[in-house]
Amino acid sequence: MKWSGRWLLGGLMLAAVPLAARVIIEGFDHPQHQSLFVSCTTCHQGAATAGAALWPKPADCATCHDGTVQKRVDWTPRTGPPPSNLRFDHGTHANAVRKRAGADSTLDCAACHSARGAPWMTVSRAVVQNCLACHGIAASHLDAPDSACATCHVPLWQAPAVPEARLASWSAPASHQAPDFAAGGHGKLAKGESCATCHARDYCATCHVNAPEEPTIQALAADRRSLAIRVGTIAEPASHRRPDFLKRHGKDLGGKAAVSCTVCHTQESCSACHLAPPSRLQLLPVAGPGRAAGARIERYRPASHGIDFSDAHKAPASADPQTCAGCHTREQCIECHRPNAAAQGGYHPRDFLSRHPVAAYSQEVSCGSCHNTSQFCQTCHQQSGIVATATLGSKANYHDAKNSFLLGHGQAARQSLESCVSCHAERDCLTCHAAPAVGGRGFDPHGPGFDANRLRSKNSQMCTACHGNVIPTAP
Amino acid sequence: MKGSSLRLLGAGAILLSTARIAGAQVGYRGTIDARMQTLAFRGWALDSVLASQVAPGVGGGLVSPDGYAVDCPSGSGRCYFYRPGPRQNVAPLGSTVDLTMWGLGISGLSLHGNARVLLNAGSVDWVGTDPTFQLWEAYAEYAQPAFAARLGRQLFTSRLGVAGLDGALATIRSSSRGLSATVYGGFGLARNAPVPITSDVVNPLGEFRPPERNSIFGAMGAWSSGAADVRVDWQREVDRAANKLASDRLAASATLRPAERWSLTGGAEYNLAEGVWGSADASLRYTAPWIGASAGYRRYRPFFDLWSIWVAFSPVPYNSVVGSANLTPVRGLQLRGRVEYYAFEAADAPSGLVEVESDGTRWSAGATLTRLRNWALDVGYSIDNGVGARGGGWDASVGWTPTTRLSLRGYGATLDRPLELRFDDTDVRWAGLDAELRLQRDLSFGLGGMYVYENHHRPDASAFDWDQVRITAHVTYVLGSSGADRLGLPKAVERMPSVVGTGR
């Protein structure tokens, strides 16, 4: 027997040689040693005896792994709290199992650490399904109800040895995969202690702008490690996809839905669009330390701002300028409506200098909406030589594409009078159109819609420019 | 005026400094923007020769000895013509400062200023650079939910245009009912200028003008709800020297939203002084995520002050029908198109000697592609078969944004532009590159260059080709007491902070 034991030990040693590379540093290869131990408590005395060490001492390993019989191993038993958030005490569980299975550590330990029917010392960390079975939870681990977490787990803050890396590797329960879980479903579940199994206040505050004011979140302990669990992308709520959302969201903020706005939005997220912040903004929290940044709003061009909106915005901007003020400052209006001589482009397309004769002749848009035409047009036309400088007919005919343009310019003048006055002064026209009494040639310039009596009653000074002091009375 | 404006800005700066020292919760938002551009233009120079020197040219008309078509007024003894003018280089440099301050110790009180300094480094003046210092706005505003008032130089915007005044404005409003009413009055500024009408700056040809500043006053009433916005404006200007009307106008604007995705907007102006309708428009619009379309009517009639003689020349309006649509068949590709037909009302100025068109069309089409990451491609074509001129050509651009801080944009275009009222068929080609660098969130630079080639076709010696390089540059700095509300319009998308993952 003695020799047979030695041969057995020697055989095991020989068998162990090719596996020398399997010397476990962070753990222990239990199956490799299954022929050496008949009891778990040989090494794990603390699993059965209160106050005893749970792990073997290095000297226990060195009994064989002395560098001669076996290669030395580097083993240091863990000290301090376990790197786990299990709500577990070996003594309590061992007693419970012992009552059921008898004082046999091989059976007691295997109840949790071995799968049913597994060979001796084929152990692992506690088999979760065994825990669930004993505790009456008829579901797989991650399918268990959220309310059951606390059965086996302590809150994260009570498990200080759990490293962030391990925390980040934990899988999320099936309930967390529900489509509406991130957007709102989790709030209905976040009532008990279960959330605290993996999460802490810091985690909630990642998204919840109103975390400082939310009792459920404040009930959680603070723990920065909880940030190791990453948050999935959170889509905007369905309400935000309503076609009239942009138009109506201000009213929502003022109503019962205001509370839900505060979950994701700070005042600053409104300021991203509302350059003139509405008074209802005060209902939202102010961004700052200790508070999540919340939904990041980036402005976009509203659907109403179609391709020709720069030309078509007059009516809506006139009807409700407050809507414009939601996104646009007066400065921006001025920037377009008061053109900057030092800037190229802007409202007009590039090289509008070349394009502008067409747009101006046909009055594509009103030049006078933004430009003081007498200043803007005449200044440049003067410098370009495109301006009448003397009595008509005494110099070259600029309009040389139309023979006798002077004699037939009436239609062009009435259609594009703004273009005419960009080159011509009033005196050019008075040469012919003033009454003979004041030195003109008496060509009547008055056309359709001219109400002489009405205009004379409004401003007779204008009449005297052509008629002098003898203003005829219209029939 | 210039001195008082500078003093006003100085007072604002002192107030800001004082408030900060005193520990007041002064908030401010400002923009300092400096821009410059260089460009050149070339007009026409009037010249003449003795009548005895001209001779019939190829087309039968008289030309000068060096080939210019001439016009020989009877009895003058000289013949006149236009030769290409000298090259005129301009290089305007402008800096705009916009500043808003609040938290001045009185809740609801704020100060606003907008001023611009313009210099010209070119050989001739460039439009809009005179006067050098331009104070557009400088006013104090006191605003409460139901009441607001402004005092100082301000711009009042309405359907009737942007009116500048040195005066006061008061508004009462009920947010719950969507109602507001505004009255304003003061001394007016010249239309679209930072100076009064008495300034030489706005009267380069020495036309008739009032010797004193006009007074301006008006009123506005508005109602706004989820289904409709309606506003009525009345504005009157008085020539104080003559104690006569300079203008008297009424306007109404409305937006109706009868159904989801549909809106009807429009408005009209009525000239109370002349007793005629002015410009008007109405547009029915449908907007959906992948398509947008509008159809509308537009009428344009220029407006002139009563102190000028132009009112008596009876400008006639044109009426047009407009349609536009944009389509997004696949994400990242947008197609667009617009068409307009317009016709002037009867001018009642028949002449068999000169034929002038009275109607025209404008249409354009284009596509924008943004499917490629960081790239944006755009191409468009437009034609304006107008009255008095015709223009048409291609525009194309390629934008590349390799980082959020840098964007580059190359572009090119063609323009063919015959003018109806003079022998001048011009074709222009240009291409350029713009770079925009956002050095910090609130500091950006821009630099651009464009090469322009211009060719004037004429049947005489006035035809000429020439080219030029135009440079643009700008620096924009945005400053403010808090960061969130002082940056410009960013790009789209709403999403949560950049925490991504699968919820493990």
What mean pLDDT is reported for chain B?
A: 86
**What do you get for the CA distance between the two ends of chain B, in Å?**
67
Give, as one character, the DSSP assignment of residue B315.
P
At B273 the pLDDT is 94
Query: % helix / strand / coil in chain B, to the nearest 5?
Result: 5, 60, 35
Give the Å distances, CA to CA, from A159 to A126, A135, A343, B62.
17, 21, 63, 104
**Number of inter-chain CB pairs under 8 A, A vs B:** 520
The token duo for A156 is 């994260």
Element (H, E) at A464: helix A460-467
Residue B499 scores a pLDDT above 50 = no
At B10 the pLDDT is 59
Contact B211, B198 (CB under 8 A): yes
Give, as one character, the DSSP assignment of residue B194.
S
- B160 vs A46, higher pLDDT: B160
Shortest alpha-carbon distance between residue B17 and chain A (Å): 23
> What's the whole-number mean pLDDT along residues B278-297?
91
Q: Do B504 and A317 touch (CB under 8 A)?
A: no
User: What is the rounded CA–CA span in Å between residue A270 and residue A282?
Assistant: 11
Compute how many other C-beta atoms are within 10 angstroms of the C-beta atom of residue A275: 22
Q: How far is CA A160 from the centre of its chain?
A: 32
- Tens of pLDDT, residues A96-126: 777 776 666 566 777 778 877 888 888 887 7
Residue B423 scores a pLDDT above 90 = no
Find the range with the poorest average confidence among A19-28, A90-99, A338-347, B367-376: A19-28
Q: What ipTM goes with this model? A: 0.86
For residue B389, give the nearest of A320, A357, A374 by CB distance: A357
The token duo for B75 is 């009895």
The token duo for B1 is 């005026």
Chain B positions in Cβ-Cβ contact with residue A430 (cut-off 8 Å): 309
Best to test chain A binding among B154, B309, B460 (most A CBs inside 10 Å): B309
For residue A385, give the nearest of B85, B114, B157 by CB distance: B85
Contact B474, B446 (CB under 8 A): yes
Helix/strand/coil for B129:
coil
Residue B112 scores a pLDDT above 80 = yes
At A423 the pLDDT is 86
Find the range with the poorest average confidence among A20-29, A161-170, A174-183, B270-279: A20-29
Residue A13 scores a pLDDT above 50 = no
At A107 the pLDDT is 63
Contact A90, A46 (CB under 8 A): yes
The amino acid at B73: P
Give the Å distances, CA to CA, from A54 to A49, A57, A99, A109, B369.
9, 10, 21, 13, 67
Residue B213 scores a pLDDT above 60 = yes
Q: Residue B131, preceding bond cis, omega within 30 degrees?
A: yes
Chain B positions in Cβ-Cβ contact with residue A462 (cut-off 8 Å): 306-309, 311-312
Residues 180-199 on A with a CB inside 8 Å of B are 182
Q: Do A320 and B231 touch (CB under 8 A)?
A: yes
- B169 vs A127, higher pLDDT: B169
Q: How far is CA A83 from the centre of its chain?
A: 35
Give the Å distances, CA to CA, from A339 to A33, A333, A354.
88, 10, 17
User: What is the rounded CA–CA span in Å between residue B277 and residue A154?
Assistant: 80
At B219 the pLDDT is 97
- A271 vs A209, higher pLDDT: A209
Residue A236 scores a pLDDT above 60 = yes
The token duo for A192 is 């008990």
> What's the whole-number mean pLDDT along residues B246-274?
93
Residue B169 scores a pLDDT above 90 = yes
Of B255, B237, B443, residue with least CA distance to A459: B237
Q: Do B490 and A299 touch (CB under 8 A)?
A: yes
Residues 456-495 on B with a CB inside 8 Å of A are 470, 472, 474, 482, 484-485, 489-495
User: What is the rounded CA–CA span in Å between residue A425 and residue B203?
Assistant: 10
Residue B440 scores a pLDDT above 50 = yes
Nearest-CA residue of chain B relative to A265? B496
Which residues make Cβ contacts (< 8 Å) with residue A222, sequence separation at least 6? A157, A200, A201, A202
Chain A positions in Cβ-Cβ contact with residue B360 (cut-off 8 Å): 362
Compute how many other C-beta atoms are within 10 angstroms of the C-beta atom of residue B227: 10
Residue A254 scores a pLDDT above 80 = no
Helix/strand/coil for A16:
helix
Whether B125 contacts chain A with CB within 8 A: yes
- Tens of pLDDT, residues B43-74: 888 889 999 999 998 878 889 999 998 888 88
Q: What is the pTM of this model?
A: 0.72
- Tens of pLDDT, residues A409-433: 999 999 999 888 888 888 888 889 9
pLDDT band at B133 (very low <50, low <70, confident <90, very high): very high
At A100 the pLDDT is 72
Q: Do A312 and B283 touch (CB under 8 A)?
A: yes
At B85 the pLDDT is 87
At A289 the pLDDT is 66
Residues 367-386 on A with a CB inside 8 Å of B are 368-372, 374-386
Residue A1 scores a pLDDT above 50 = no
Of A419, A377, A383, A462, residue with least CA distance to B202: A377
> What's the whole-number mean pLDDT along residues A243-264?
73
Chain B positions in Cβ-Cβ contact with residue A172 (cut-off 8 Å): 502-504
Residue with tokens 């047979």: A4
Helix/strand/coil for A440:
coil
Whether A451 contacts chain B with CB within 8 A: yes
- Tens of pLDDT, residues A320-379: 887 777 677 777 777 778 888 888 777 888 888 888 888 888 888 888 888 888 788 888
Q: Do B452 and A354 touch (CB under 8 A)?
A: yes
Q: What is the CA radius of gyration of chain B?
A: 27
Which residues make Cβ contacts (< 8 Å) with residue A133, sequence separation at least 6? none
User: What is the rounded CA–CA span in Å between residue A395 and residue B281?
Assistant: 41
Helix/strand/coil for B324:
strand
Helix/strand/coil for A41:
helix
The token duo for A457 is 């009653």
What mean pLDDT is reported for chain A?
A: 79
pLDDT over 90 for what percent of chain B? 54
Q: How far is CA A19 from the centre of its chain?
A: 53
Best to test chain A binding among B76, B494, B498 (most A CBs inside 10 Å): B494
Contact B172, B147 (CB under 8 A): yes
Residue B205 scores a pLDDT above 80 = no
- Tens of pLDDT, residues A133-192: 888 888 888 888 878 888 888 888 888 889 888 888 888 888 888 877 877 778 777 766
Q: Do B358 and A426 touch (CB under 8 A)?
A: no
Q: Do A383 and B43 touch (CB under 8 A)?
A: yes
Q: Do B76 and A394 touch (CB under 8 A)?
A: yes
Q: Do A421 and B289 touch (CB under 8 A)?
A: no
For residue B205, give the nearest of A321, A369, A425 by CB distance: A425
- The secondary structure of A87-137 as a DSSP string is ---HHHHHHHHHHHH-S-HHHHHHHHHS-TTPPTT---SPPHHHHHHHTT-
Residue B425 scores a pLDDT above 70 = yes
At A386 the pLDDT is 82
Exposed/middle/buried for residue A402 (C-beta within 10 Å: 0-12, 13-18, 19+): buried
- Tens of pLDDT, residues B292-327: 899 999 999 999 999 889 999 999 999 999 999 999
At A330 the pLDDT is 72
The token duo for B24 is 């007041």
- The secondary structure of A337-364 as a DSSP string is HS--TT---SSSPTTHHHHHHHHHHTTS
The token duo for A199 is 């999460």
Element (H, E) at A332: helix A330-337
Q: Do B497 and A296 touch (CB under 8 A)?
A: yes
Q: Angle at CA A462, nearest 5°, toward B128 and A432?
A: 90
Shortest alpha-carbon distance between residue B21 and chain A (Å): 24
pLDDT band at A391 (very low <50, low <70, confident <90, very high): low
Of A302, A297, A301, A265, residue with least CA distance to A281: A265
- Tens of pLDDT, residues B371-417: 888 899 999 999 999 888 889 999 999 999 998 889 999 999 999 99
